[in-house]
Each structure stands twice: as structure tokens, then as C-alpha cells.
Amino acid sequence: MTMNANKGFSLVEIMVVVMIIGMITAIGIPSFVHVRTEARKNTCVANLKQLNSAVQQYVMEQNTTNMPPNISPMLDIYFQTRAPTNGPAGGTYTLPIDGDHVPECSQYPVGHWIREG
């Protein structure tokens, strides 16, 4: 009985493994990108809800619908730390200056969510 001295993988076996890894990566990367985008959008919506609540509290406490042009520093008292100013991916939030508008995010135009529920 002789032992074969070639202990290793053949080129075909290695190529099959590389192709399988490539296929899994090609399927997985778009899914990860989609999940990351949805997470950023959900973060933006959560921040917008908090900002809208703070604006509503300010309006109730001041008994007015006219907002100062730079209301952002005045909203800090309604948050544990500071009011969110930048979106999850570097966007900015636009705060309303009258009672008829809602905060909006520059990256994900989702300001309609407040009126829809």
C-alpha cells in the first residue's frame, strides 16, 4: 500500500469554493445595503418624532404658534442631552417656523408620517 504524497486541494475544488463565496457575497451585499438604508430612515423618523414632540411642547408652553427663526437651541430643554441636529447619514433637520409645518429630514423626505399617523 503506497501513500500518495499529494495532500491538498485541487484547483477545481478551490475554484468551486471561491465561486460559492462570490455568489453568497453577491446575494448578501444588496441586502445589507437595503437594511442599512432602512435603519437610517427609521432613525430619521424617530428623531423627527422627538423633534415634533419638542416643538409641540414649546408651542403649548409659550401659548403661541409663531416660532422664532432659530428655535433649535430652545428645544434642548426638552431632551436629555441635546436636540438632534444631524441625520444618521450626515443630513440635517429642518425645524418649522410656524405651527402648520412639521420637522423634515434633508436625506429622507419622510415628514408626511406625522399627519398620516
With respect to residue 4, please indicate whether it lies within any of the assigned structural domains: no
Domain membership flag for residue 2: no
Within a domain: residue 3? no
CB 47 within 8 A of CB 84: yes
Mean local confidence (pLDDT), 106-115? 57
pLDDT for the residue numbered 77: 78
Is 35 contained in some domain?
A: yes
Is pLDDT of 69 > 80? no
Contacts by residues 53-59 (CB-CB < 8 Å, ≥ 24 positions apart): 53/78, 54/78, 54/79, 54/83, 55/95, 55/96, 55/103, 59/99
Residue 61 is assigned to a structural domain of this protein: yes
Range of the domain at 74: 11-116
**Domain contains 77:** yes
Number of domains in the chain: 1
One-letter amino acid at 37 equals T
Q: Confidence class of residue 53 from pLDDT cuts 50, 70 and 90?
A: confident
In a domain, 38, yes or no: yes
